Amino acid sequence: MKTVYFKCTFKADIVLNSKTSTEGKNSPLDYIPGNVFLGIVAKKYKDYGDNVFDVFHSGKVRFNDATLLINGKESYKIPFSYFNPKGDDNNIYVHHKISEDLFKELREKGIQLKQKRNGYINEDGNYLDIVSVYHQKSAYDKTTRKSKDSQMFGYNAIKRGTEFLFSIDFDKDIDENLKEQIVKDLIGNKFIGKSKTAQYGKVFIEKSKTAQYGKVFIEKSSFDFESLSHQENGEEIILYAKSNLAFIDKNGMPTAQPSVENLGFKSGKILWNKSQIRTRRYTPYNGARKTFDYERMIIEKGSVFVLETNNSFDVNLLKDGVGIYKNEGFGQVLINPSFLMDLNPKFNPNPEALEGRSVEIYGFDGKEDKDLIKWVTFKKKEELERYELLKEVNKFLTVAHFNKLKEPSLSQWGQIRSISSSHKNTDRKNLYQKLFDEAPEREEDKGFLVHGSSKDKWKTSIHLLLGKYDASNELKVADFYELLSIEVMRKIKANIKEDK
């Protein structure tokens, strides 16, 4: 099998919905499905003559999903086996690696784990979530030349400048001329997603010029496909869904509970108590026939199966993918990937991974706009400084600290935010006087945290804030308190919502 890699760059915002319905809530996709690229090539369906079955229906040509490029490297959907304590997004636990004793210890400490469902990771230990923008719109009435009543709608779109990587797999009996024809029909400026006739949908597709892409985690795993033949009896195998999976049972019906045979193993059992899968139903639309196909039940990418095998499996089946719809990129799996082999994997948030390429900025006269460049450069510096400060806040906001800082009410934290915001450009001593100063004789002149009813509410946590004030003169302490108050309020609200 030969694999050809492509890069897809968004030239406009792209709308990719998880459902074809136009009413009600419709969650956006954070990847480009393989059938989008199949559809681009299928516009030249008649040009393929006798080869149409091999290209579009046989599975000999597989149009794989496009996933986010992070610093120029392939990324993987965050596994659904990743859990983190409420209020602590930086500490990750892998579900099937948590022992009964550790579960008991976490419960005794009052630590609740919640599943991570969004974002992507890559081999360099970078973590990133897709950035989307929301646009509210209204239908247009041509007769009255104004917006239609009760016809409001909105789109969540992935931002322009985002880069994705995808590949096409060719079986060995697909000749070179046919491969070249498929590649030729795919590359260039194309339109994908919804609302392509408006401002959305333009992308540029090109062949990848680097060789750093590939199934890197298989190479770094405890077992690759070849070493699986030496798997010992009773030893667990971790199966990670790199793409969406779809299966049918022995009666030919769609199923979300595949058997070990569906997953490519001749015998053994799936340990459902250790596995973490998510399912979804959707009805694909066929543009050529202008109608909907049958509803599909799929297991979403990022799902994790834990299996106990007895040394019987089909290596070639695992290599070629499992299940059905493989021509649309379904069925790709990784075996024992390195990011699922440790109890506490570490990943770093990456703020610059989604930055667009360098852009030349010109004014209306065609000359370089130096004032605008200065402003953009300043805003970039400001955002990076804010990101570094946010890292400092997250580092400070441990579970132990949060358990103390959540005791004051939301209104108390709102006051901290207001005071900090109004003192960001003043001497830090002024901020101290407003928050901590106990020297004034009059009670109303004392700092907010040390007078009146506030004093009792902050008595268990004031030392944490004061310690951060005294720690370093270099720290922009007002900015730090402002971001800290925002994060604490966000976590308190999230806990209230989850407890309902």
Residue 359 has what pLDDT? 44
DSSP string, 135-173: EEEEEEETTTTEEEEEEEEEEEEEPTT-EEEEEEEE-TT
Q: Is residue 38 in some structural domain?
A: yes
pLDDT in tens, 403-419: 888 888 888 888 888 88
Residues 6+ apart with CB under 8 A from 303: 79, 80, 240, 241, 245, 275, 276, 277, 278
Q: Which of 67-71, 214-218, 291-295, 379-383 has the lowest mean pLDDT?
A: 214-218
Tell whether 163 and 301 lie within a shared domain: no
CB 282 within 8 A of CB 18: yes
Q: Is residue 277 in some structural domain?
A: yes
Residue 361's pLDDT band, with cuts at 50, 70 and 90, is very low
**Does residue 126 register a pLDDT over 60?**
yes
The kind and range of the H/E element at 493 are helix 477-499
pLDDT in tens, 214-227: 443 333 333 344 44
Residue 357 has what pLDDT? 38
Tell whether 336 and 381 lie within a shared domain: no
Choosing from 285, 319, 340, the residue where a domain stops is 340
- β-pairing, 254-255 vs 93-94, is unpaired
Q: What mean pLDDT comes out for the span 184-209?
A: 86
**Does residue 65 register a pLDDT over 60?**
yes
Q: What mean pLDDT comes out for the span 298-312?
A: 86
Q: What mean pLDDT comes out for the span 132-151?
A: 80
The enclosing domain of 250 has a CATH number of: 2.60.40.4350
Q: CA 415 to CA 435: how far, in whole Å?
A: 10
Choosing from 207, 229, 256, the residue where a domain stops is 207
Tell whether 377 and 466 lie within a shared domain: yes
Q: Is residue 260 in some structural domain?
A: yes
Q: CA 154 to CA 134: how far, in whole Å?
A: 7
Tell whether 190 and 226 lie within a shared domain: no
**Does residue 79 register a pLDDT over 90?**
yes
The enclosing domain of 163 has a CATH number of: 3.30.70
Residue 181's pLDDT band, with cuts at 50, 70 and 90, is very high
Residue 360's pLDDT band, with cuts at 50, 70 and 90, is very low
Tell whether 274 and 379 lie within a shared domain: no
Residue 311 has what pLDDT? 60
Q: What mean pLDDT comes out for the span 307-324?
A: 75
Q: What mean pLDDT comes out for the span 478-500?
A: 80
Q: Is residue 352 in some structural domain?
A: no
Residue 26's pLDDT band, with cuts at 50, 70 and 90, is low
**Does residue 279 register a pLDDT over 90?**
yes
Tell whether 199 and 50 lie within a shared domain: yes
Q: Is residue 322 in some structural domain?
A: yes
Tell whether 306 and 438 lie within a shared domain: no
Q: Is residue 100 in some structural domain?
A: no
Exposure b/e, 87-118, CB count within 10 A at least 16 = b: bbbbebbbbbbbeeeeeeebeeeebebeebee
Residue 308 has what pLDDT? 87
Tell whether 191 and 255 lie within a shared domain: no
Higher-confidence position of 124 and 78: 78
Q: Which of 140-154, 289-303, 478-492 has the lowest mean pLDDT?
A: 140-154
Tell whether 197 and 232 lie within a shared domain: no
pLDDT in tens, 423-441: 877 777 887 888 888 777 7
CB 376 within 8 A of CB 128: no
Residue 230 has what pLDDT? 41
Helices 462-471, 428-435: axis angle to 10 degrees equals 170
Residue 112 has what pLDDT? 86
pLDDT in tens, 83-103: 988 877 778 899 999 998 998
Report the domain count for the chain.
Answer: 3
Q: What mean pLDDT comes out for the span 448-464?
A: 79
Q: Is residue 92 in some structural domain?
A: no
Q: What mean pLDDT comes out for the span 374-401?
A: 80
Q: What mean pLDDT comes out for the span 113-137?
A: 82
Tell whether 37 and 150 lie within a shared domain: yes
Residue 21's pLDDT band, with cuts at 50, 70 and 90, is low
Choosing from 340, 362, 383, the residue where a domain stops is 340
Residue 216 has what pLDDT? 34
Tell whether 414 and 460 lie within a shared domain: yes
Mean confidence (pLDDT) of the chain: 80
Q: Is residue 36 in some structural domain?
A: yes
Residue bearing tokens 């402003």: 375
By residue range, what is the domain housing residue 400?
A: 370-499
Residue 142 has what pLDDT? 83
Tell whether 175 and 46 lie within a shared domain: yes
